[in-house]
Amino acid sequence: MPPLPSFRLASAPSSGAHSDDGRPGTSDRSHLAALALGAIGVVYGDIGTSPLYTLKEVFGAHGVPATPQNVLGALSLVFWSLIIVVSVKYVLFIMRADNKGEGGIMALMALAQRSVRHAPRLRRAVVVLGLFGAALFYGDGVITPAISVLSAVEGLQVATPALERWVVPVTLAVIVALCWLQKHGTARIGAVFGPVCAVWFLAIAGLGALGIVRNPSVLLALSPAYGVDFFLRNHAQAFFALGAVVLAVTGTEALYADMGHFGKKPIRLAWFNFVLPALVLNYFGQGALVLADPGAVANPFYHLVPRPLLYPMIALATTAAVIASQAVISGAFSMTREAVQLGYMPRMRVVHTSRRLSGQVFVPWINRMLLVLIAAAVLGFRSSDNLGAAYGIAVTGTMVATTLLALVVARYQWRWSRTAVLATGAGLLVVDLGFFSANLVKIEHGGWFPLALGLCVFAAMATWRGGRERMAREIRQGGLALAPFLASLAAHPPLRVPGTAVFLVADPGVVPTSLLHNLKHNKMLHERNVLLTVESLDTPTAGIDERLAWEPLEGGFARLRLRFGFAEDPDVPAALADGGRAGIRFDLMDTTFFLSRETVVAGVRRPGPARWRDAVFTVMARNALPATAFFRLPGNRLVELGSRVEI
């Protein structure tokens, strides 16, 4: 291989590149409207079905009495929660902290890490905070489908009490169908769910408007004074009721996580012009009904529906609940891919469901796990009232983590003044921590379930990250330094054969194990040898000057670095084929890929919990997607050589 100067490869923009609104061609109004409609179906499904159970929980067994003052106070809290948490915090503030168009707490964590890369302690705190919030998001991804579908199907027992025994079986059937639909992708599901969800919002807005017309005095609750009076009147009981009020804003984290699917502009357009007015109308319509008939508090949503429309509304609500579940499930898929690329989860098969947008993905393993856990939650809790006690702690915990990470980005990347950050943080954290504290009392009533799920996911991510670091350290300590190895080859040259050999190696300063085995067993080397390192960036896509870095070495060797963003697929052959535009030509038909497949075993040197975590890591490593499939290496030009690594 002739010596080549070091340079960076200028590659074509990734298909996942985003404009300000996340999609190419969104200046066209019809296209923007179509995206906004899709966002209504995928992004706002979760928060759109909150009226099914929110007020019922506020005045339920753990809530407050449905007196006129309490009804107005609760409505005021719901309204101002929608304004402060959703409109101000997420739609206007948090969505500014996009990582090249990608949202979600993992993307935000990567952005915050990049902002504080020169402060190691703060960087570690950012990682812990991000992993904690991401882990709780998975707990939310289990509880949301369970409570949304159960709440919708429970309309059957309102219509006919004899149908109560069918609520759980029908719920399970709907959840199985929902998980089966995931393989068809966000784009197709959004195209179907968007119009259905639009009908849902129009329906709940119409029902709410009818309720308000019958009792317009309910509009007094728009004043925050009634929310303040609610606390002054009910004291500790109001604090407990706050844990139910937060149900009105569940789905906001999924809104942020799904930002890469549709973009900022369509999501904001749909919220302010359609979703928010419909939600406010329905909540106030339910409140007007309860003011007139306190007995309707048992299920104010369905009691608001005229009797002849009850069964059609149950069907529409069930469909909307499926849509609600879609929001968190698609968000879980996006976050999983980001976690895999950033090195916090084992490699998994990721299926792209759209040729236009790399952000729309389906992760089969996560889908199966969610199906099992959601079904377990339905069978274990069996009613939306029981699940309501379990709901909220995962959502509010993630909300707190998101706020803190966004404040780090505002201070160190946006260069906000300390005063501005403290003022913004104080305003947002008072609300977030209030909701989180109110939900802590739910732990013994079922809140332990999403919390336990979150802790398990957090432990798994931390174990995987730590295990990879220990494995890399063991390989580095047991390996040979590259420089003296090349000098030895120059002094004692082996037999050379035509062609190019590409050796994948994690540490570019260490001789690949696969190269040593090839030289030991085959007693030869190729004419051209490339030491390839694949790196993941903390941005969604690699820029045109980041994709490839080439460094020629002596003796027919060269070092090559390929960089991919956390929202890209690391397709190594495609990246090598693209190198011709920069003067590096790979004839893939004349190239052989060498890969060392490490068998990880837990050592006996680390006693106690450390040994236990090593054992868990070895199980995760053995079940991870093979690197050959993850990097899309061609099987007919691949040589795998095994090695054993003890950690």
**Cα gap 159→315, rounded to integer Å:** 12
Residue 439, token pair as written in the block:
């939900």
- Three-state secondary-structure class, residue 526: strand
Q: Can you give the pLDDT at residue 25?
A: 44
Q: Domains in the chain, ordered, with CATH?
A: 46-460 (1.20.1740.10), 479-646 (no CATH)
Element of type H or E holding 361: strand 361-362
Cα separation, 330 vs 630, in Å, equals: 21
**Buried (b) or exposed (e) across 269-291, using 16+ Cβ within 10 A?**
bbbeebbbebbbbbbbbbbbbbb
Closest C-alpha among 132, 141, 145 to residue 106 = 132
CB 185 within 8 A of CB 360: yes
Residues 426, 429, 431, 437: is their CA dihedral positive or negative? negative
Q: Residue 406 burial by CB count (10 A; 0-12/13-18/19+): exposed, middle or buried?
A: buried
Do 255 and 89 meet the contact criterion of CB atoms below 8 Å apart? no
Q: What pLDDT digit, counting tens, does each position of 396-431 carry?
A: 888 999 999 999 999 999 999 999 999 999 999 999
pLDDT tens sequence across 8-59? 333 333 333 344 444 444 346 777 887 788 788 778 878 888 898 899 889 8
Beta bridge partners of 530: 502, 558
What Å distances lie between residue 480 and 490, 515, 535, 605, CA to CA?
A: 16, 11, 21, 23
> Is 224:76 a contact under the CB 8 Å cutoff?
yes
pLDDT at 255: 80
**DSSP 8-state code for residue 13:** P
Let me know: does 392 contact 436? Beta carbons within 8 Å: no
Kindly report each contact of residues 227-233 with a partner whose C-beta sits within 8 Å and lies 24 or more positions away, as own/partner.
227/73, 227/76, 227/77, 227/80, 229/69, 229/73, 230/69, 230/70, 230/73, 230/74, 230/76, 230/77, 231/73, 233/69, 233/70, 233/73
DSSP state letter for 235: T
Ramachandran region, residue 381 (left: φ > 0; alpha: ψ -120 to 50; beta: rest): alpha
Hey, what amino acid is at 189? I
CA distance 141 to 332: 7
Residue 145 to residues 314, 326, 371, Cα–Cα distance (Å) = 16, 8, 10
Q: Which pTM was predicted?
A: 0.78
Pick from 506, 502, 513: nearest CA to 575 = 502
CA–CA dist 185, 188 (Å, integer): 6
pLDDT at 10: 34
Q: How far is CA 568 from CA 44, 231, 326, in A?
A: 26, 48, 22
The 10 Å CB-count burial string (b at 16+, else e) for 212-231 is: beebeebeebeeeebbebbb
- Dihedral over Cα of 21, 22, 27, 33: its sign: negative
* pLDDT score of 188: 61
What's the one-letter identity of residue 352? H
Q: Which helix (H) or strand (E) holds 351?
A: strand 351-352
Burial letters 152-190, b for 16+ CB under 10 A, else e: bbbbbbbeeeebeeebbebbbebbeebbebbeebbbebb
Total length of the chain: 647
Residue 225 structure tokens: 């004074």
Hey, which bits of 495-647 come out as E strands?
Answer: 495-504, 524-536, 548-552, 557-564, 591-601, 638-646
Nearest to 174 by CA among 45, 41, 321, 42: 321
Element (H, E) at 420: helix 418-440
**Residue located via tokens 């699940």:** 387
Angle between helix axes 105-115 and 120-153 (nearest 10 degrees) is 170
At residue 14, what is the residue type?
A: S
CB of 156 within 8 A of CB of 134?
no
Return the number of other C-beta atoms located less than 10 Å from residue 349's C-beta. Answer: 11
Q: What is the pLDDT of residue 372?
A: 93
DSSP classification of residue 102: B
DSSP 104: S
Of 282, 312, 310, residue with least CA distance to 52 = 282
* Cα 297 off chain centre by: 35
- Given a cut of 50, the residues of the chain with pLDDT beneath it are 1-27
Q: Are 66 and 297 in contact (CB under 8 A)?
A: yes
Number of H helices, E strands in the chain: 27, 9
Q: What's the token pair of residue 148?
A: 């949304």
The 10s digit of each residue's pLDDT in 58-117 is 987 667 889 999 999 999 999 999 999 999 999 999 998 888 777 888 889 989 998 888
Token readout for 98 is 């996009």
> Which tokens in the block code for residue 620?
């995760």
What is the rounded end-to-end Cα distance, in angstroms, of the chain?
37
Structure tokens at 49: 């079905």
Q: Where are the alpha helices (DSSP H) in 185-275?
A: 185-214, 224-234, 236-245, 252-257, 259-262, 264-270
